[in-house]
Amino acid sequence: MSEVLPVTSPALAARYRARFLEFPFPHVAEVAGRLPQGPSGIGTSAAHLARTLGRCGATPVRDELHCPPALRRDPVLERAVNDGLVEWAGQVGIFPGRLDVLREMNFGRLITLTYVDTDDYDRLLAVARMTLAWWTADDYYCDDASLGSVPALLGSRLAVAYTATDPVAMPDRYAADLDAAVDREPVLAAHRCAWRRLSRYTTPVQAERIRHEAATLFLGYEQEASWRHEDRLPSVWEYLLNRAVNSFRPNLAMIDAVAGYEVPGPEFADPRVRRVMNLAGTASVLVNDLYSMDKERSSPGLDFDLPAVIAAEEGCTHDEAVQRSIRIHNDLVHDYERESASLALTGSPALGRFLAGMWAWLGGNREWHATTARYGNQRSAG
């Protein structure tokens, strides 16, 4: 691949638009056809598309987020995935007595909005299960004391959760003890069950990528737990470092596996590809910060979100911190658009498809956060 080039010319923007139209996403042609034809470049085009979504968030300030639109809205498919996910959660024992709440959160919609490169129910349900398992570990082990989170136990719990996706080798008599421990703990059982289903759709290389990103995610959980143990807010740079690893990168790493293709190993490991994946991961989790902050501010304990740490460090108001957080998010997305556009033009077709998949993931992620009951952002999802 050649060096990353800035996307500043109408000609380069047009080439990327043509390349993007080659990808077999549902409704991509319709969305890409709305890109302006003038000399505004990829970044400005996406800003225009984001504005066409209208008001999506709980507060007007979130309309300023620079983000792609959601490329797919399929209520029938999202309902089917959500129903299958809630049924599975009941079977493995997570969220006991809260399955109605889980249903209202509509994680099935998150998955159908973000993985737009397939409409295969089994594949989407597999990734939904794995996503919910990771999310459940965050709720049960990190954030929610009412669900049993204890920062001092986090490392031990996450180590066992990781072995559910990367089994360890030990003598049979002790392996049986480990299996019994996993069976007794619904969060661990969910990880093991979800991984077994997901691994049906991954190559060995893809499985290892996903494990790596999951281990990195767990490292981010540990860092956040250390702040809770110390009862301190991190500095802004510390928090942004955490959000680079404690993000949706495991979900992004599954894009090609869910769609049934594989990005070549050397390309996936290329530092420039890793960089754009990190840009997308951090941007997507800052969307989570901005849509969940009202709920988090009303919860007991330390308030961990980017506006909170900016306000504490810079001595500004909450509204000013929100605006600064939005600018950080938007800068990340602009960088993603510029750098991924160049990589898509110079890399393999599989890489181009993967980069466009992340672009679509960003839009679906924002749309879900704007509408999920998890953060009280309900509006019409039609």
Average pLDDT over residues 89-98: 93
Q: In angstroms, how far is CA 248 from the centroid of its own chain?
A: 3
Instruction: Check if the beta carbon of residue 51 is closer than 8 Å to that of residue 36.
Output: no
And the tokens for 272?
Answer: 């420039």
Q: Are 54 and 371 in contact (CB under 8 A)?
A: no
User: 288: which 2 tokens?
Assistant: 């989570």
Please write the tens of the pLDDT for every residue from 124-159. Answer: 999 999 999 999 887 767 765 555 556 667 777 888
pLDDT of amino acid 146 = 59
The rounded distance, in Å, linking the Cα atoms of 272 and 281 is 14
* pLDDT at site 139: 76
Taking 90 as the threshold, does the pLDDT of residue 326 lie above it? yes
pLDDT bucket at 228, cuts 50 / 70 / 90 = confident
DSSP 140: I
Residues 6+ apart with CB under 8 A from 30: none
The predicted structure's pLDDT at residue 60: 40
Report the C-alpha gap between 324 and 318 in whole angstroms: 10
Measured between alpha carbons, how far is residue 139 from residues 82, 328, 336 in Å? 19, 26, 29
pLDDT at 307 over 90: yes
- With contact defined as beta carbons under 8 Å apart, do 305 and 326 qualify? no
Q: Considering only 216-230, 298-312, 368-382, which range has the smallest mean pLDDT? A: 368-382
**pLDDT computed for residue 210 by the predictor:** 95
Higher pLDDT, 295 or 201: 201
What per-residue confidence (pLDDT) applies to 161? 85
Please provide the average confidence, as pLDDT, over all residues in the chain. 80
Burial grade of 350 (CB within 10 A; 0-12, 13-18, 19 or more): middle
- Each domain of the chain, given as residue ranges in start order, spans 10-375
Look up the CATH superfamily of 10-375. Answer: Farnesyl Diphosphate Synthase (1.10.600.10)
Q: What is the DSSP string of 150-198?
A: -GGGHHHHHHHHHHTTSPPP--HHHHHHHHHHHHH-HHHHHHHHHHHHH
pLDDT at 22: 52
- pLDDT value at 195 more than 50: yes
* Predicted TM-score (pTM) of this structure: 0.82
